[in-house]
Amino acid sequence: MESLQYIDSYTEMEEFPMKKILALILAAVLCLAAFPALGEDLQIQAAEDAQKLDAAYNLAMAAIEAEDYATAKDYLEVCFVYCDKDTNPDMYADLLLKRACINVIEEKYDLARITLDACLRVSPAMADAYLIRTQIFSSTGDLIQASQSLEKYIEITGDTALYETMAQLYEAGGDLDAAREAYDKYVAGAGAENPEAGFQAALYRMDSGMLDEAAEAFMAYTENEVLAAGAWYNIGVCKMNLGDYAGAEEAFNACAEKGGTFAGLLINQATCARLQSKWEEACAFFEKSIETEPYELDAKFNLAICLIQMDNYEKAEALLSELITRGTGDNAEFKASDALYFYRAICNGALGKLEEAVADYTLCISHGFELAQCYYQRALVYLALGDMEKKNSDMQDYLKYAN
């Protein structure tokens, strides 16, 4: 069981808002373009074709509205017969787009991609085609491709609000640097007046390990009525990971003053105090954490360490023995670590329970845990027991492993 360094950041994320895209694109009606000047006979034929196209298109749209996609596809096929992609490219691309939308609804993603490729060959700047590609790639789990398609849509439309969605896609795909860059673009554009946007941008910096920049960015929200507590909490997390435990302690205290009740606040306050050797203060926070936060095992372990530093070996030994009992046997809640036995051995040695101390040190040595210290401490116990041969042997082994 390791000493806990920090818990987690305070963050809230919107869900990826793509559910209405297909319905909106399918519902869009494209006006039929006029035909160029032709000879009289050709004009008559073109007019008749335009009427047939108009009728088939309207019937296709009616079927789409009724969610009768099989009928819609039939009428779209009729549309293709009477729509020439050279004389009416926008209409032809729109028909391909609607066919692709229906393919997506039917979860025929490969066919939808082929259709969209054809659509973009006819109309390379058709933004909605890239939006549907985003839907396809996100549905099939290719989140990086989804992000790239969405970026192309934003490039065409200038809709910078969608950089927020693109950041979420990159984050879900594991590319935090790209997520951060996308979110910075969102903050610089549509999210400029949105405090939550800047707060989220700071979170991306923190998650990317840019802790100094993140802490500085969070400072802008420390007086915000809604975000102040979360901002101070995350500043504390950043400073804690940078090794500035005094600064982290101040930030966590400010979080508490702002009404922050995040799970992890108390144990982080306790850990900061422990790492500054403020043993009594650390104990108080660990005890509160045990009562209210879901980190009981870590809190009890660290509380025992603090108690040892205060020479309260009896209470520390009781805590460590409890954890060992809960971490062993057929009904173990977790696997008891060697550290539990090591620190219990220290307690038992100080309490005069020398045989118990020897047993715990011996177990740690058999597991290869902290060999130099275990041999040295066990040698001192053998000295107290008057077993000079074993004491000397352990001192020799200590020198062997001390380097």
Please give the C-alpha separations between residue 209 and each of 205, 213, 261, in angstroms, as whole numbers.
Answer: 6, 9, 24
Name residue, tokens 């989140």. Answer: 143
DSSP character string of 61-93: HHHHHTT-HHHHHHHHHHHHHH--TTT-HHHHH
Sign for the pseudo-dihedral over CA of 279, 284, 286, 287:
positive
Residue 296 within a domain: no
Give the pLDDT of residue 198.
85
pLDDT in tens, 71-107: 999 999 999 999 988 989 999 999 999 999 999 999 9
Specify the pLDDT at position 181: 87
Write down the pLDDT at residue 147. Answer: 87
Share of the chain above pLDDT 70, in %: 88
**Position 387 pLDDT exceeds 80:** yes
Query: Picking from 14-23, 47-56, 198-207, 309-318, which range would have the lowest pLDDT averaged per residue?
Result: 14-23
Q: State yes or no: pLDDT of 34 exceeds 60.
A: no
Q: Indicate whether 346 pLDDT > 70.
A: yes
| Nearest Cα residue to 1 out of 307, 344, 245 | 344
Give a yes or no: residue 352 inside a domain.
yes
- The predicted model gives 135-148 an average pLDDT of 89
Q: Which domain holds residue 140?
A: 11-158
CA distance 270 to 329: 30
Q: How far apart are CA 9 and CA 214, in angstroms?
A: 11
CA distance 272 to 66: 62
Give SS3 for 379. Answer: helix
Q: What angle do CA 2, 6, 312 make, to 5 degrees?
A: 50
**Per-residue model confidence (pLDDT) at position 25:** 58
Let me know if residue 197 belongs to a domain. no
3-state helix, strand, coil in the chain (%, to 5): 70, 0, 30
Q: Give the containing element (helix H, strand E) for 261.
A: none
- Return the pLDDT at 180: 86
- Answer with the one of 158, 188, 205 that is the final residue of a domain: 158
Residue 31: burial class (beta carbons within 10 Å; 0-12, 13-18, 19+): exposed
What's the pLDDT tens digit per position in 276-287?
A: 999 999 999 999
Last residue of a domain, one of 158, 193, 217: 158
Q: Is residue 65 part of a domain?
A: yes
Cβ atoms of residues 218 and 231 within 8 Å: yes
- pLDDT, average across residues 219-240: 95
Q: What pLDDT band is residue 117 in, cutting at 50, 70 and 90?
A: very high
Confidence of residue 38 (pLDDT cuts 50, 70, 90): very low
DSSP per-residue letters across 102-131? HHHHTT-HHHHHHHHHHHHHH-TT-HHHHH
Query: Domain tally for the chain?
Result: 2
pLDDT in tens, 232-265: 999 999 999 999 999 999 999 999 999 999 999 9
Contacts by 172-181, CB closer than 8 A, 24 or more apart: 172/16, 172/143, 173/143, 173/144, 173/146, 173/147, 175/144, 175/147, 176/204, 176/207, 176/208, 177/208, 178/147, 179/204, 180/204, 180/205, 180/208, 180/210
Q: Does the pLDDT value for residue 203 go beyond 70?
A: yes
Residue 138 domain-assigned?
yes
- Over the chain, what is the mean pLDDT? 88
pLDDT at position 37: 47
Least confident of 10-14, 133-137, 169-173: 10-14
What's the chain's length in residues?
A: 403
Within-domain flag for 261: no
In which region does residue 22 sit, left (phi positive, over 0), alpha (psi from -120 to 50) or beta (all else)? alpha
Q: Is the pLDDT of residue 114 over 50?
A: yes
Of 141, 158, 175, the residue that ends a domain is 158
pLDDT tens for residues 166-187?
888 888 888 888 888 888 888 8
Q: What are phi and psi of 256, to 5 degrees?
A: -65, -40
Give me the pLDDT at residue 171, please: 83
At 183 the pLDDT is 84
Residue 204 falls within a domain, yes or no? no
Instruction: Tell me what the mean pLDDT of segment 327-331 comes to.
Output: 94
- The span from the CA of 183 to the CA of 323, in Å, is 44
For 9, the token pair is 């950041």
For every residue of 155-193, DSSP letters joined together read HHH--GGGHHHHHHHHHHTT-HHHHHHHHHHHHHTTTTT
Q: Is the pLDDT of residue 190 over 80?
A: no
More confident: 279 or 143: 279
Indicate whether 285 belongs to any domain. no
pLDDT band of 23, cuts 50, 70, 90: low
CATH of the domain at 36: 1.25.40.10
